[in-house]
């Protein structure tokens, strides 16, 4: 039986608060063997994983970006997201942003409105 593919996943809106969905997603992604790159402007690490303050500091290929910030913040990240060239961006519930999705899709980046936690729990990630 083949091993499931592991991905490099950038978490925008990462949190060290265990009650936050972005925190739960980070833990579950790691449990599923994925490499996580949490992004938060003020945190140094979450659960022993170094946090990146800005998207422009990320180098190398990115499979998935999962969003946990609202449209007011995510729209300001448009150019950096396009420059990052992830294979897909997941807009978790409450982060939907049609103008950003249109820009990413035009740049050849797949977008989906879904819950990262549900995708992981149901084997659809």
All structural domains of the chain, each given as residue ranges with its CATH number in brackets, are 8-121 (3.40.50.720)
pLDDT (tens digit, 0 to 9) for every residue of the chain, 125 residues total?
A: 445 679 999 999 999 999 999 999 999 999 999 999 999 999 999 999 999 999 999 999 999 999 999 999 999 999 999 999 999 999 999 999 999 999 999 999 999 999 999 999 999 99
- What whole-number distance in Å separates Cα of residue 80 and Cα of residue 84? 6
Q: Please name which of 42, 41, 43, 87 lies closest in space to residue 62, comparing C-alpha atoms.
A: 87
Collapse the DSSP code of 85 into the 3-class scheme (helix H, G, I; strand E, B; otherwise coil) and give the result: coil
- What whole-number distance in Å separates Cα of residue 97 and Cα of residue 45? 28
For residue range 28-51, what is the model confidence (pLDDT) as tens digits? Answer: 999 999 999 999 999 999 999 999
């Amino acid at each position: 039986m083949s091993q499931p593919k592991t991905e490099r996943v950038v978490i925008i809106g990462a949190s060290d608060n265990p009650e936050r969905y972005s925190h739960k997603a980070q833990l579950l992604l790691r449990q599923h063997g994925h490499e996580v790159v949490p992004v938060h402007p003020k945190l140094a690490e979450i659960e022993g994983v170094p946090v990146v303050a800005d998207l422009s500091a990320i180098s190398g290929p990115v499979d998935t970006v999962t969003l946990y910030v609202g449209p007011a913040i995510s729209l300001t990240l448009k150019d950096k997201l396009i420059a990052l060239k992830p294979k897909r961006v997941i807009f978790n519930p409450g982060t939907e942003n049609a103008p950003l999705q249109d820009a990413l899709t035009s740049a050849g980046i797949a977008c989906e409105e879904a819950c990262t936690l549900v995708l992981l729990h149901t084997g659809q990630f």
